[in-house]
Amino acid sequence: MPSFGYKRRYLSEGLFPKIRRNYEQVLTLFCILFSLSILLILVITGVDLGLSIPIASYSIMEGKAGEKGGKGEETEKKREEEDIEFYLVKTIKAITIIYIIAQVLSLFLRILYISFPSISRNNTYVLTLAVLETEGRLVTMYGSTAATDENISCQDICIFYHRVTGGNCHSFCEPLSLPLPGLHLPIQVFCLLLSLLLVCLESALLDIDNFYTATTVISVLNSVQQLLLTLCTYALTTDTGFCCFGISITRWFIHTDVYTQTLESLVKESFTSPNKHENEEWFRSTLVQEPENQMDASRAGQVKMLQHFLETWHEQLYREVYVGQDAVSLFITKNEKDRLDEFYTRRILSYDSDEKVIFQRK
């Protein structure tokens, strides 16, 4: 049966990976401040508009009573405008309540994960090897079919953590299996649409009565704040997604750190020039043996060889941190991920320039 829905699933480092790494705490603080400011504005404008409803309601009832008694002083056009004003205010108030609930939810999740980082300690990641294709800039992960038969270039190799989530959702509802922090971006995009809708509705009120000029100006400023908050959230967001009414988009984030860079450097070294340092004792002691099918020169064979290098190097480096570990898996928890990163960050800083060359990113 053909599918009429739009589904997209892709890997990405985001548009601003360096900004996220270097200014994550600053951007998080800005997000919290913007959220609090938006909530304050929404509460004030919501209360202000709520007080105007009884006035509009009284005018409508007065007009209807005058019409029944035959002594109505307002024209039919004036009564229609008051009806429109009354229902616009009611609609704006309802949208404002939804807007406030969404912002409170997003702010609560953000503060919760900042205050209690142990909540995410059991998140699971899998070490993944991917090769960038020359055609279409696609990423071929291990086990996938390559788009070309060309040899793999060392510059196209990438090693990263891919988050693993629970649940057996169909591919269409995959965004529902994302971690809770992945909801930040969809919520803020939804809030941005609500803020623009409020500007349109309050502009319609302004056409009826100049009394709503101040409220409309504040709503426009609030939309600017919401836009800035959405951009900051996008810069911070890692794994995220959205699914609704036949549309499903999932962006899995390429998680990298010092440990993945170390593995990537070692895998590239083993793949390109395993005999380069054959006379150096420190390299021979850690050199990974090539797999038995190393003579397979096809692209698929090269990907299998790279996967072999990744698994062997990871096992060796992992055992240096977790001594005596019986079994080593490519699936690791966030707690293990952070400990590996901390260990090899200290190791790189402790080596001199000659010893740490193998751990440097090419």
From the first residue on, what is the mean pLDDT of each consecutive set of 10 residues in the chain (362 residues)? 61 74 87 94 82 51 48 64 82 92 93 80 81 58 55 80 73 77 90 94 85 87 95 88 82 86 88 57 45 55 84 90 84 88 85 46 35
Which tokens is 119 given?
A: 């909540």
Which tokens is 142 given?
A: 């291990």
Mapped onto helix, strand or coil, the DSSP state of residue 85 is: helix
Amino acid at 3: S
Amino acid at 261: Q
Which tokens is 178 given?
A: 């994302």
Mapped onto helix, strand or coil, the DSSP state of residue 42 is: helix
Which tokens is 106 given?
A: 């997003």
> CA-CA distance, 60 to 54, in Å (whole number)?
10
pLDDT for res 168: 64
pLDDT for res 121: 64
Side-chain-side CA neighbours of 137 within 13 Å: the count stands at 3
Question: Which parts of the chain are beta strand (E)?
Answer: 6-12, 124-132, 139-141, 157-164, 240-244, 247-253, 331-333
Q: Helices marked H in 159-284 — which ranges?
A: 184-208, 213-236, 258-272, 281-284
- 128 φ, ψ (degrees, to nearest 5): -125, 140
CA dihedral 112, 224, 214, 197 (to 10 degrees): -80
Token pair 């990263």 is found at 160
DSSP state letter for 178: S
Q: How far is CA 21 from CA 28, 161, 213, in A?
A: 12, 16, 42
> CA-CA distance, 138 to 297, in Å (whole number)?
21
Measure CA of the first residue to CA of the last residue in the chain; give whole Å: 47
Measured CA angle at 229 (ends 228, 233), to 5 deg:
120
Torsion-angle region of residue 145: left (phi > 0), alpha (psi -120 to 50) or beta? beta
Global confidence as pTM: 0.73
Torsion-angle region of residue 201: left (phi > 0), alpha (psi -120 to 50) or beta? alpha
Measured CA angle at 288 (ends 284, 290), to 5 deg:
120
Q: How far is CA 290 from the centre of its chain?
A: 37
> CA-CA distance, 321 to 342, in Å (whole number)?
10
Contact 75, 129 (CB under 8 A): no
- 140 φ, ψ (degrees, to nearest 5): -100, 115
Contacts of 309 (CB under 8 A, 6+ apart): 266, 267, 270, 271, 288
